[in-house]
């Protein structure tokens, strides 16, 4: 009984995000002209999965009390790489996929090394490394272009058994293969410990460096998955500064919505996924209500503002005023 309550308390953020997502998605489907059909779900899934990958990537780093402002640029860089490498025969396309994911992981690892051994603050280090990643993407694709092996792309963006969106299945598979082993390993626990209190973790002999390095590397890998999927959807590579920046900013919003604390040490990548899906659905709500698309950015901004303000209710429970200052 107590175990169950403990688990529930730990997953409160993720469950809240899941609830918001279900409510929003129900409203979305109820008002969509096509209703709750396979097509609607597939389109929504394909849009949501991109942000979900990037938000998962962000959550790994945020759990260690860091932040990765280059995550959108890794996403853009891997998108451009995939548009050049995932082509040709099945073998070369397959090798291309591996190369793209490895490049994403490498970008994350570089961030990790700068933060760990350079001892720079993650926020400034990743701003600067993001500029480098974007420069590389721009060198690769000065203008939008390139291509992708279309059968492979369609297989990942289509449906399984004509009902389940394949992108959603991939997302679940990646979450199961990357997040769950990480969460259950010593390294994963060390990442939470580092996020809660780095000096305390150090004093307890927790492998701080390994935890941070793995978190940053996996973050890069997941951003690479996002970039790969973007290529699968669009068939092109595009080094767009605005889009990369938007994904970085939205990933932070999604992570917070999904119950991952920006101060580190709590939350999960699963919460980040639901945060991302909820955030995307909120953004799309306007379309089904036939509003002028011009109002979409304002609507999304106001919803974000309200969503982050909800956390202020926690202040009512504070007994000691000093707890205001965290």
Distance between CA atoms of residues 38 and 36, nearest Å? 7
For the CB of residue 295, give the shortest distance to other proteins in the complex, in Å.
Answer: 6
Place of tokens 């929504």: 44
Beta pairing class for 164-165 and 159-160:
antiparallel
Query: What 3-state class would DSSP assign to 147?
Result: coil
- Taking the least distance from each CB to other proteins, the nearer of 60 and 156 is 60
Query: Under the criterion CB under 8 A, does residue 295 sit at the interface with other proteins?
Result: yes
Query: Under the criterion CB under 8 A, does residue 289 sit at the interface with other proteins?
Result: no
- Taking the least distance from each CB to other proteins, the nearer of 26 and 246 is 246
Query: Under the criterion CB under 8 A, does residue 177 sit at the interface with other proteins?
Result: no
Query: What 3-state class would DSSP assign to 164?
Result: strand
Distance between CA atoms of residues 281 and 106, nearest Å? 32
Stretch that binds other proteins, among 51-59, 88-96, 225-233, 295-303 (CB under 8 A): 295-303
- Taking the least distance from each CB to other proteins, the nearer of 45 and 223 is 223
By CB under 8 A, the residues from 49 to 68 that bind other proteins are 67
Query: Under the criterion CB under 8 A, does residue 155 sit at the interface with other proteins?
Result: no
Q: Which of 294, 316, 317, 319 touches other proteins (CB under 8 A)?
A: 294
Query: Under the criterion CB under 8 A, does residue 242 sit at the interface with other proteins?
Result: yes
Structural tokens at position 18: 């899941």
Query: What 3-state class would DSSP assign to 277?
Result: helix
Q: Which of 90, 135, 144, 145 touches other proteins (CB under 8 A)?
A: 135
Distances (CA, A) of 16 to 109, 234, 274, 284, 307: 32, 32, 9, 20, 11
**DSSP β-bridge partners for residue 164:** 160
For the CB of residue 221, give the shortest distance to other proteins in the complex, in Å.
Answer: 21
- Taking the least distance from each CB to other proteins, the nearer of 129 and 219 is 129
Query: Under the criterion CB under 8 A, does residue 136 sit at the interface with other proteins?
Result: yes
- Taking the least distance from each CB to other proteins, the nearer of 122 and 224 is 122
Instruction: Give just the sign of the alpha carbon dihedral 112, 113, 114, 116.
Output: positive
Q: Torsions phi, psi of 165, nearest 5?
A: -65, 130
Query: Under the criterion CB under 8 A, does residue 262 sit at the interface with other proteins?
Result: yes
Distance between CA atoms of residues 116 and 208, nearest Å? 9
Distances (CA, A) of 102 to 82, 111, 223, 318: 11, 14, 11, 46
**DSSP β-bridge partners for residue 159:** 165
- Taking the least distance from each CB to other proteins, the nearer of 36 and 202 is 202
Q: Which of 15, 87, 127, 288 touches other proteins (CB under 8 A)?
A: 127
> Angle at CA 15, nearest 5°, toward 10 and 18?
150
Query: Under the criterion CB under 8 A, does residue 116 sit at the interface with other proteins?
Result: no
Query: Under the criterion CB under 8 A, does residue 113 sit at the interface with other proteins?
Result: no
Query: Under the criterion CB under 8 A, does residue 132 sit at the interface with other proteins?
Result: yes
Q: Enumerate binding residues for other proteins (CB under 8 A).
A: 67, 114, 118-121, 123-125, 127-139, 142, 198-199, 202, 208, 241-242, 245, 249, 252-253, 256, 262-263, 294-302, 304-305, 308-309, 311-312, 315, 321-322, 324-326
């Amino acid at each position: 009984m107590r175990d169950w309550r403990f688990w529930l308390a730990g997953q409160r953020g993720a469950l809240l995000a899941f609830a918001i997502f279900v409510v929003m998605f129900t409203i979305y489907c109820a008002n969509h002209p096509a209703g709750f059909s396979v097509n609607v779900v597939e389109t929504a899934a394909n849009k949501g999965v991109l942000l979900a990958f990037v938000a998962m990537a962000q959550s790994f780093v945020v759990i260690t009390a860091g932040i990765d402002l280059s995550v959108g640029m890794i996403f853009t860089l891997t998108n451009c790489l995939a548009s050049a490498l995932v082509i040709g025969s099945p073998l070369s396309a397959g090798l291309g996929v591996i190369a793209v994911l490895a490049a994403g992981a490498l970008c994350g690892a570089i961030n990790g090394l700068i933060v760990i051994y350079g001892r720079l603050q993650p926020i400034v280090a990743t701003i600067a490394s993001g500029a480098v990643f974007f420069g590389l993407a721009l060198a690769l694709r000065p203008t939008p272009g390139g291509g992708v092996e279309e059968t492979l792309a369609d297989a990942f963006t289509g449906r399984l058994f004509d009902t389940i969106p394949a992108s959603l299945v991939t997302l679940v598979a990646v979450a199961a293969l990357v997040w769950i082993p990480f969460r259950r390993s010593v390294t994963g626990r060390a990442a939470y410990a580092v996020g809660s209190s780095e000096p305390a973790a150090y004093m307890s002999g927790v492998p701080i460096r390994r935890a941070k390095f793995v978190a940053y590397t996996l973050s890069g890998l997941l951003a690479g998955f996002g970039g790969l999927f973007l290529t699968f959807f669009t068939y092109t590579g595009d080094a767009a500064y605005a889009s990369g920046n938007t994904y970085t900013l939205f990933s932070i919003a999604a992570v917070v919505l999904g119950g991952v604390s920006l101060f580190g040490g709590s939350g999960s990548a699963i919460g980040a996924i639901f945060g991302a899906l909820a955030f995307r659905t909120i953004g799309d709500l306007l379309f089904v209500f036939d509003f002028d698309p011009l109002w979409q950015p304002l609507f999304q901004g106001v919803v974000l503002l309200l969503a982050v303000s909800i956390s202020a209710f926690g202040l009512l429970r504070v007994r000691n005023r000093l707890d205001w200052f965290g």
